[in-house]
Amino acid sequence: MNIKIASVALFLGLFVSCTDDNGTTADLVQQETSVELNLVKMSGQVRGSETTGDEMSWQETYTLGSGMRFKKVRKSDGNTLISEGDFDIVMINSDKYLKFVHDSESELIGNCTGDKVELLKYTSSDSLESTWNVCDGPGLKYTFN
């Protein structure tokens, strides 16, 4: 009997720990037709090199839609680039991330691994940061709109 109780407690603990807090991303997507995640701040490797708004090198939006699909759009110097794929909420070392897996190779994929996966780490319930900066990429901060 104690083994069954421990097994149920472990399962519930794993299930709860893998869900998103405070109005989950998945819940938002299911409640609405789409949710936007907008780039709001960029920073470089040099201290004090932060830019926001129109001063950023590019404008960028992830649109999270039903079926756990996303579309990433980047606008820069009159050009628009688009990439699409699947997204999920994942836990890595007790930190929560949005994981984006692009359908195809794209220059929009900002990561350190050279594959089709991007990770954005939750820094609060409505703000995320790219992990690209750990390998000399720009620091990118996004918020839900």
As a residue count, the chain comes to: 145
Helix (H) and strand (E) counts in the chain: 2, 9
Q: Are 90 and 100 contacting, i.e. CB atoms less than 8 angstroms apart?
A: no
14 pLDDT exceeds 50? Answer: no
pLDDT digits (tens, 9 = 90+) for 36-94: 999 999 998 777 789 999 999 999 999 999 999 999 999 999 999 999 999 999 999 99
Amino acid at 97: Y
pLDDT (average), residues 94-100:
97
Strand partners, 87: 100
Domains, the chain, with CATH or none: 22-144 (2.40.128)
* Residue 53, phi then psi, degrees to nearest 5: 60, -140
Question: 19, 25, 50, 31: which is closest to 100 by C-alpha?
Answer: 25
CB 79 within 8 A of CB 101: no
pLDDT at site 33 = 78
Q: How much is the pTM? A: 0.78
Residues in CB range of 42: below 8 A, 6 or more apart: 50, 51, 52, 56, 57, 138, 139, 140, 141
